[in-house]
Structure 1
Amino acid sequence: MITWLRIGFVVLALSIVTLVFLPLQLVGLALNLRLRRYLPRVWHRIACRLMGIRIHVHRRVEKRRPLLLAANHASWKDILVLGAVADVVFIAKSEVADWPVFGVLAKLQKTIFVARDQKRKAGDQVNEIAQRLADGEIVVLFPEGTTSDGNRVLEIKSSLFGAAAAAVPQVPGQVVHVQPVAIAYTRVYGMAMGRYHRPIAAWPGDIELVPHLMGVLKAEAIDVEITFGDTIEFGTGDKRKILSANVAAQIRRMLIARLRGRDYN
């Protein structure tokens, strides 16, 4: 009974916060105000607090711009936790725009939707990413292309860095700064999560969203470690496959270290 009361409170509180923030965000989007960039961070922080997601940040977001964050992807909660620590925009597959609730929230954050199977739109999508980078926005890419079980990093798709390569000639200095990020879900109820319990936090594609969401709300307290790696400068003539390999190696080292409870230097 108490669990269901808590879930009801979280849903009600988050709905109220969303309704309060909604008109402000709509005005920010319509007038392209800076408000539209940092208001989602406040919303994400409130959402994480209400849901019991405790964020531990290691090292810092790169200060240089343009900046592309490349992170491993275990769950929809990755968006909440990254959105809570920095003013970011996400690159997402076009199908997300049609998802109930999540699609609306993504649009309000001005997510960049990419239709990977529509080559005719590729140029416009790349130009939008380049423009957002040039404008100083921090763009987040999940280069695995899908979610994992949270215990490992899936194969990094070098093709997804094509937007960064295409953006290079269009941004100041013709260099895009790419910073690897590892997101590790480590504890539940204050106890080490382990491989068996990590699906409580992770959301592989074969798990239904609603039951998973209820499981997260019932868990009450989940700890997540976000580690920012060493920034890689990607410029004219640099190879996407080399960038991809370097990003993957860093993310794997950082993820393994955090899952094992070790520091990463």
Structure 2
Amino acid sequence: MIGWLRLVLGLAIVAIATPPMALWQMMALRTGWADEGTAPRLWHHLVTRVLGIRIHVHGQMATQRPLLIASNHISWTDIMVLGSLADLHFIAKLEVGSWPLLGRLAKLQRTVFVDRGARRKAGAQVGEIASRISDGDPMVLFPEGSTGDGNVLLPFKSTLFAAAASAMNGEGGEPPVIQPVAIVYTRLQGLPMGRGLRPHIAWIGDQTLVPHLTSLLRTGAVDVEVHFGTPISVGPGLSRKHLARDVEQQVRMMMAAALRNPR
């Protein structure tokens, strides 16, 4: 009974709050009267609260610009978690832009949509991301290219790492940096999840959104750790594959440490 009450109340809160926040964001983008990052950050914070996600941050986001954040990916809730912490922009797969409601909200946050299956578009997509990074927008990349089960890190795809190498910060500016980030869901209702329960949070493959959302709202009380790693300066001669390998190694180490010893 309590689970259903959480579900109904949570959906009602988000349904009431979303339209005015979306209007606020539209006006901010069109007129510049307000910071375009405020409404998305508040909306992400609201959703994490409604879902009962408790966020524990370790380390801090890099202050250097241009900045590309590279994180492991477990669920759509990763976006809510990271988006509640800072004014960030995301790199998402192309089909997200066509999703009802969430696609529109992603566009309002100026998400960059990429078609990973179209190699002929790779150069243009890298150029768009590099331009956004050069303009000072911290961009979040999920280089696994898919969602994992929360227990295992999938191999990183290197193509979009070229965006950091292409980003510029003006003559004499600091070089671009890539910051590894590990997201680890550690506890469910206060108890350690373990390998068996962690996939409960994961959103994998063709799983539909509504049943997953319903399950999270009825369950509640999820703890997630966000670990910010050591930024990697993108210097001359560093290939995208070299960068992807170094970032993946950091994320893997942070993720493994959090899984062994949930804080």
**CA deviation vs aligned residue, 1:169-212 (integer Å, no higher than 9, x gap):** x3333721100000000000000011100112111214332222
Judged with a 3 Å threshold, the aligned counterparts in structure 2 of structure 1 residues 57 and 174 are, in CA distance, closer, same or farther, namely closer
Deviating above 6 A after TM superposition, structure 1's stretches of 4 or more consecutive aligned residues are none
SS at match of 2:227: strand
Structure 1: gaps (5+ residues): none
Give the conservation status (yes or no) of the 8 Å contact 1:174–1:236.
no
Q: Say which structure is richer in helix.
A: 1
SS at match of 1:35: coil
User: How many pairs are equivalent?
Assistant: 261
Give the conservation status (yes or no) of the 8 Å contact 1:175–1:236.
no
Using the TM superposition, name which of 223-232 and 207-216 deviates more. Answer: 207-216
Instruction: Return the alpha-carbon distance in structure 2 between the equivalents of residues 158 and 117 of structure 1.
Output: 14
SS at match of 2:223: strand
Instruction: Return the alpha-carbon distance in structure 2 between the equivalents of residues 242 and 225 of structure 1.
Output: 27
Amino acid at match of 1:69: I
Give the conservation status (yes or no) of the 8 Å contact 2:22–2:39.
no
SS at match of 2:70: strand
Once the two structures are superposed, the pairs formed by residues 199-214 of structure 1 within 5 Å of their partners are 199-214=199-214
Instruction: Return the alpha-carbon distance in structure 2 between the equivalents of residues 125 and 184 of structure 1.
Output: 29
Percent identity between the aligned chains?
A: 50
**CA deviation vs aligned residue, 1:152-178 (integer Å, no higher than 9, x gap):** 1100111231222332xx333372110
Give the conservation status (yes or no) of the 8 Å contact 1:147–1:204.
yes
Instruction: Return the alpha-carbon distance in structure 2 between the equivalents of residues 72 and 5 of structure 1.
Output: 32
Report the Cα offset of residue 234 of structure 1. Answer: 0.8
Give the conservation status (yes or no) of the 8 Å contact 1:181–1:251.
yes
| 1:139 aligned partner | 139
Structure 2: gaps (5+ residues): none
| 2:69 aligned partner | 69
SS at match of 2:234: strand
* TM-score of the aligned structures, taking structure 1 as reference length: 0.93
Instruction: Return the alpha-carbon distance in structure 1 between the equivalents of residues 249 and 223 of structure 2.
Output: 24
Give the conservation status (yes or no) of the 8 Å contact 2:3–2:219.
no
Once the two structures are superposed, the pairs formed by residues 102-113 of structure 1 within 5 Å of their partners are 102-113=102-113
Judged with a 3 Å threshold, the aligned counterparts in structure 2 of structure 1 residues 33 and 70 are, in CA distance, closer, same or farther, namely farther
Amino acid at match of 1:57: V
Give the conservation status (yes or no) of the 8 Å contact 2:186–2:262.
no
| 2:45 aligned partner | 45
Instruction: Return the alpha-carbon distance in structure 1 between the equivalents of residues 156 and 141 of structure 2.
Output: 11
Give the conservation status (yes or no) of the 8 Å contact 2:164–2:177.
no
SS at match of 2:178: strand
Using the TM superposition, name which of 236-245 and 254-263 deviates more. Answer: 254-263
Instruction: Return the alpha-carbon distance in structure 2 between the equivalents of residues 162 and 44 of structure 1.
Output: 29
